[in-house]
Amino acid sequence: MLFIGERLGTRTGPRVDIAVDPLEGTTLCAKDMPGSIAVMAMAQAGSLLNAPDVYMDKIAIGPGYAPGVVDLDMSAEDNVRALAKAKGVKPGEITVLVLDRPRHENIIAGVRRAGASVRLITDGDVAGVIFTAQTAQTGVDMYIGTGGAPEGVLAAGALRCVGGQMQGRLLLDTEAKRERALKMGIKDPTKKYDMRELASGDVIVCATGVTDGALLKGVRFGKDVIETETVIYRSVTGTVRRIQAEHREMSKF
């Protein structure tokens, strides 16, 4: 594990920011459930929000919409109706992805009042945000909810590479959290960050599947070969590359 603010490397090359989630969906992995991934983002120094390890309120949609269609300051119900109007469909044709947590009861109720479908996930909100950019494959139109702030930065980086909109607000609900955030350069504890404030510059995001999921295949163990699937996003080029890799213990050959 890396602690927040840790410095790595020889310090002789270009300075970069990194954000790492070595295992997003630890419970998913432990229970051999779908969707566990290892993910990392990299950008020029100062490009990734130096987010403390707190919760973040998040909302995200995929590409193709005018700026400001959805907003953290709107209710879940209003966000569903606004997105449906922008998409040219009825609210009943919208699907919203939400982490299955007691704290999201009001969000889930609002989505259902609007007539939209709710898809609940137990873990994995980095992949959940990315799903909004692949609606044709995933069926997900919007992500709403509260999750980890570092994961929010990772998700924003990936969404920047493939298109979409995202907002995040740090949940600094105690004096200790506000003081910790201030030491990390967060001067406004109520600031609403857009996607480019969470992850700016030339961002590269790399994710490897651990267990099978909608985004990536999981690790496959063969007799002499371990197979992995990795996806790499880059914001400057807008490219998405997939790597099907075979790993061998070379001492056996």
Domain boundaries 55-199, corresponding CATH code: 3.40.190.90
Look up the CATH architecture of domain 16-48+205-252.
2-Layer Sandwich (3.30)
Calculate mean pLDDT across residues 118-129: 92
CA distance 161 to 154: 11
Calculate mean pLDDT across residues 134-152: 93
| 63-76: pLDDT as tens digits | 999 999 999 999 99
3-state secondary structure of 212: coil
Percent of the chain having pLDDT more than 70? 98
pTM of the full predicted structure? 0.90
16-48+205-252 against 55-199: fold identical: no
Question: Which phi and psi angles does 26 have, rounded to 5°?
Answer: -60, -40
Q: Name the one residue in this structure whose structure tokens are 């907003």.
A: 71
Instruction: Return the pLDDT at 251.
Output: 63
Q: Evaluate if residue 193 carries a pLDDT over 80.
A: yes
CA distance 82 to 204: 31
| 1-35: pLDDT as tens digits | 677 778 888 888 899 999 999 999 999 999 999 99
Two tokens at 52? 């403390």
CA distance 171 to 187: 14
Q: What residues contact 114, with CB distance under 8 A and at least 6 apart?
A: 76, 77, 80, 81, 84, 91, 94
Instruction: Return the pLDDT at 44.
Output: 93
Burial class (CB in 10 A: 0-12, 13-18, 19+), 192: middle
Domain boundaries, the chain: 16-48+205-252, 55-199
